């Protein structure tokens, strides 16, 4: 029964995409050429971006449908993510060794969704750390992230029932400059020797410098980022790495809150639709039909 529903949902989504294709093709036929500046009446919708609007709308609908199903009590399976399971293990190890936990929320500002999400994970980590009564050091690269990190960690300690253990001096703004920040974090790793290093957020060229320094101190290291160019560095230098979407699954995985798990289900269905679109596009291109692939071109 459930699989029939799934097939119907998948077919409906794919049909919606196909309708979008036809609509966009028709709209693009009648739309003025994009390179020529138009002095005509102002438009309320950019028809060149209709394809993106349709794909985003399908994705939003899928996510909302699964959030609703989850709210009604449907249970969804989440596969095991070793990196997320290892967070508690790493904090436990730091507690046994009597050493602090280091949490680096990336080097980007809050306009990057990875930084916001890193704050969400930091809240969960702070709760665990407070329960184990282990110090948590959070070096921050952007001044604007400082109050966010302070509030998040404070709330984590409060939720765990240990507000007195919160130390505001452990939320340390180092520098907005990339390598000044890197030098500062390396200094913390070498002087204070944290037993667990968590690198979760948006990282750039400093990723390997941080991870290799952490490796040299013998700390257990867990990294997670959606910046794909930095993933190989984290994979070779860290014990566990959350790759791309796994990073964004952290709170749903850790909290098992039904609504959050529902969003993961929505993402999975969107991936299936996109895979089907890629395969369809490859087959059609092989036979010389290019309209389908051209529909996905971003103007």
Site for other proteins in 99-118 (CB under 8 A): 109, 111, 113-114, 116-117
Q: Which is nearer to other proteins, 4 or 37 (CB)?
A: 37
The contact mask relative to other proteins for 225-244 (x = CB under 8 A, - = no) is: -x-x--x-x-xxx-----xx
293 vs 186: CA distance, rounded Å: 47
Exposed (0-12), middle (13-18) or buried (19+): which is 112, by Cβ within 10 Å? middle
171 binds other proteins (CB under 8 A): yes
Taking CA atoms, 296 is separated from 20, 28, 45, 270, 291, in Å, by 10, 13, 18, 15, 9
169 binds other proteins (CB under 8 A): yes
52 binds other proteins (CB under 8 A): yes
Residue numbers 71-100 binding other proteins by CB under 8 A: none
The contact mask relative to other proteins for 261-290 (x = CB under 8 A, - = no) is: --xx-xx--xx--x----------------
- Among 42, 72, 80, 288, indicate the residue that binds other proteins (CB under 8 A): 42
185 binds other proteins (CB under 8 A): no
- Among 4, 30, 191, 288, indicate the residue that binds other proteins (CB under 8 A): 191
Q: Which is nearer to other proteins, 172 or 294 (CB)?
A: 172
Q: How many residues bind other proteins (CB under 8 A)?
A: 78
176 binds other proteins (CB under 8 A): yes
Exposed (0-12), middle (13-18) or buried (19+): which is 199, by Cβ within 10 Å? buried
193 binds other proteins (CB under 8 A): no
- Among 19, 56, 283, 291, indicate the residue that binds other proteins (CB under 8 A): 56
């Amino acid at each position: 029964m459930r699989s029939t529903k799934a097939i119907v949902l998948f077919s409906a989504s794919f049909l919606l995409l196909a309708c979008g294709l036809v609509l966009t093709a028709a709209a693009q036929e009648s739309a003025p050429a994009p390179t020529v500046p138009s002095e005509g009446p102002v438009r309320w919708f950019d028809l060149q971006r209709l394809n993106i609007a349709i794909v985003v709308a399908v994705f939003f609908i899928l996510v909302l449908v699964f959030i609703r199903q989850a709210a009604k009590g449907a249970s969804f399976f989440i596969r095991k993510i070793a990196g997320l399971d290892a967070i508690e293990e790493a904090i436990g190890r730091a507690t046994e060794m009597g050493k602090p936990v280091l949490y680096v929320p990336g080097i980007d500002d809050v306009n990057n969704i990875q930084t916001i999400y890193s704050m969400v994970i930091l809240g969960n980590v702070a709760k665990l750390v407070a329960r184990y009564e282990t110090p948590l050091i959070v070096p921050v690269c952007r001044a604007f992230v400082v109050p966010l990190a302070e509030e998040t960690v404070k709330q984590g300690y409060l939720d765990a029932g240990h507000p007195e253990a919160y130390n505001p001096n452990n939320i340390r703004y180092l520098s907005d400059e990339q390598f000044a920040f890197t030098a500062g974090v390396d200094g913390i790793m070498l002087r204070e020797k944290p037993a667990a290093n968590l690198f979760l957020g948006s990282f750039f060229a400093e990723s390997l410098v941080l991870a290799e320094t952490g490796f040299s101190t013998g700390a257990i290291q867990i990294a997670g980022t959606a910046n794909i160019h930095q993933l190989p560095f984290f994979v070779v230098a860290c014990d566990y790495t959350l790759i791309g979407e796994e990073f964004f699954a952290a709170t749903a995985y850790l909290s098992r809150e039904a609504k959050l798990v529902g969003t993961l289900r929505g993402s999975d269905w969107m991936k299936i639709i996109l895979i089907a679109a890629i395969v369809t596009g490859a087959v059609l291109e092989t036979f010389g039909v290019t309209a389908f692939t051209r529909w996905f071109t971003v103007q």
